[in-house]
Structure 1
Amino acid sequence: MQAMLFAAGLGTRLKDETADKPKALVEVGGKPLLQHAIEKLSAEGATRIVVNVHHFAPQVIDFIHSKSWSIPVLISDESDKLLETGGGLKFASHLFAPGEPILIYNVDILSNINLHDVLAQHTQSNAIASLVVRQRETQRYFKFDAEHNLVGWINKKTGETKISRPENFREATEMAFSGIHIVEPQIFDFMPDEDRFSIVQVYLELAKTKNIRGYFDTSELWMDVGKPAQLEEARELFR
């Protein structure tokens, strides 16, 4: 298994925390979020990690080069243009080994999810992509049928819906995305020509004809620390 860490975001929700450094280098428990993520991924079997950078990119690059990691940690430099999730993955495609699944992990996620279990389910399902989701309150939800196939997406605040499989959409289970997913390298064959786009749009389009599965996560710890309140909660937990 190889991995990609999405670490290029502007971190604007963290305000003062990211005024002079990127979100990836914000500390929890005495370690930058980037280090937490790299150590988790390498401990759970990643053979290489690609980190995309944009906001304060030199700081992230210097930090990565300052450490002796147990596996290769490569840089995908988006300094010139922030490419969003789909574009960022596409831009980094040349850094991945062919034929191996790619685990994608947001740098502002703290979790004790067992990634071996996620990979095992993904492999068994023969899915082109597997999305880790949880039951939690949010504004935007993926929707899955009884077999955990992705059938659509809904924004509860605006009412916007995107339907991949209309026959199962109404009764489908609403689950919140956890910022963790696994894709097969063949997904690059189905990406749009433009350089900047969301991976969510790719999943919803592919779900009309391909196998996109949900991994329903019930692990004890999952936190998105991209907002001040959640960051302080994480710091209390890791203190």
Structure 2
Amino acid sequence: MCDTPDSLMLFAAGFGTRMGALTADCPKPLVEVAGRPLIDHALDLVVEAGIGRSVANIHYRGDQIVRHLAGSDVMISDETDEILETGGGLRKALPLLGQGPVFTLNTDAIWTGPNPLAALRTAWDPKKMSALLMLVPPERATGHKGAGDFTLTEGRLTRGPGFVYTGAQLIDPSELSEIPEAAFSLNLLWDRMLAQGRVYGLVHSGGWCDVGRPESIPLAEALLELADD
């Protein structure tokens, strides 16, 4: 197995129900922030980090995403028949992604500051890590509510309040084959890895906004404006 990360999964298949009317006829990755679709903001990070292979999964209004990505190098993992959630979706895309550790990136966030994907690649240590998650403290999790998902102790993660998972990670997908469900969350894989003490975290030093609701769009745009000043 190659341990040099150079493949990325863009999660783009969700229904975006929290976006209300904005996703009635449009998939959430194509909702615009600062005049550009969310998925394009995500792809900026991918290109800047120099990642060689990218795959996007599709389900809800997937034809619109296919048309939007036409002419790009992004490959499509089609879940039109059945949405597979993050774990099942990543497993289905593995033939396109190739062997070795894989970046995964949600398409419903805005980032400022250092490139999170480049930071994950620099910090990745396959000898001790099965997953490396990018985090932010709750007070810097713009547009997000809650006390956090993980506790961070000397780099290693456990479940509990403390830091918010941002939707960017590096992960070894080899154990996905051992999960019997067709559709499942990556939480099932994380639980296996957490039990082994092999899930680590990295804290993003820049800005991050969870664009899951309409009211988060102006927050994300303000974050981008602040970064440009």
TM-score of the superposed pair, with normalisation by structure 2? 0.85
* Deviating more after overlay: 132-141 vs 14-23: 132-141
1:8 maps to which residue?
Answer: 13
In the alignment, residue 184 of structure 1 is paired with which amino acid? D
**Distance change in 2, residues 1:18/1:210 (3 Å):** same
**1:234 maps onto 2:225 in alignment:** no
Deviations 1:57-111 (A, max 9, x none): 111111111x4x3xx2100111111111111111111111213x21111001111
Aligned mates of 1:233, 1:60 — CA distance in 2 = 24
Can you give the 5+ residue segments of structure 2 that lack an aligned partner in the other structure?
1-5, 140-144
Percent of residue pairs bearing the same amino acid type:
32
Whether 1:142 aligns to 2:143 is no
CA distance in 1, matches of 2:127, 2:159: 19
Aligned to 1:33: 38
Residue in structure 2 matched with residue 120 of structure 1 by the alignment: 122
Q: Does 1:214 align with 2:201?
A: yes
Residue among 148, 151, 158 paired with 2:158: 151
- Whether 1:195 aligns to 2:202 is no
User: Aligned-pair distance for 1:135?
Assistant: 0.5
Find the aligned partners of 2:96 and 2:126 in 1 and give their Cα distance: 25
The question of whether the paired residues in 1 share the 8 Å contact of 2:152 and 2:163 is answered with no
Question: Whole-Å Cα distance in 2 between the matches of residues 53 and 11 of structure 1?
Answer: 12
TM-score w.r.t. length of structure 1 = 0.82
The residue matched to 2:202 in structure 1 has which SS?
Answer: strand
Code of the residue aligned with 2:190 in structure 1: it is Y
Does structure 1 retain, via aligned residues, the 8 Å contact 2:138–2:146?
A: no
The 8 Å contact of residues 91 and 195 in structure 1, kept in 2 or not, is answered as no
> By how many angstroms is 1:32 displaced?
1.0
1:96, 1:217 → 2: CA distance? 25
Deviation at 1:177, TM superposition (A): 0.8
Tell me which amino acid in the other structure corresponds to 2:210. Answer: D
Check whether the contact 2:176–2:189 (CA below 8 A) recurs between aligned residues. no
Q: What is the distance in 2 between the residues matched to 1:133 and 1:235?
A: 21
How many angstroms does 1:205 deviate by? Answer: 2.4
How many residues are aligned here?
213
Q: 1:9 aligns to what SS in structure 2?
A: coil
Q: Which amino acid aligns with 1:12?
A: T
Residues in 1 aligned to 2:90 and 2:154: alpha-carbon distance in whole angstroms = 27
Residue of structure 1 in register with 2:63 after alignment: 58
Aligned to 1:15, the other structure's residue is in SS state helix
Is the 1:4–1:105 Cα contact (8 Å) retained in structure 2? Answer: yes
1:129 aligned residue = 131
The structure-2 alpha-carbon separation of the partners of 1:96 and 1:15, relative to structure 1 and needing over 3 Å to count, comes to same
Which region of structure 1 is more displaced relative to structure 2, 143-152 or 52-61? 143-152
Q: Does 1:180 align with 2:177?
A: no
CA contact (8 A) 1:51 1:76 kept: yes
Amino acid aligned to 1:75: I
Aligned equivalents of 1:124 and 1:54: distance in 2? Answer: 32
Structure 1 segments of 4+ aligned residues over 6 angstroms from their partners: none
Contact 1:144 1:214 in 2 (8 A): no
Q: CA RMSD in A?
A: 2.0
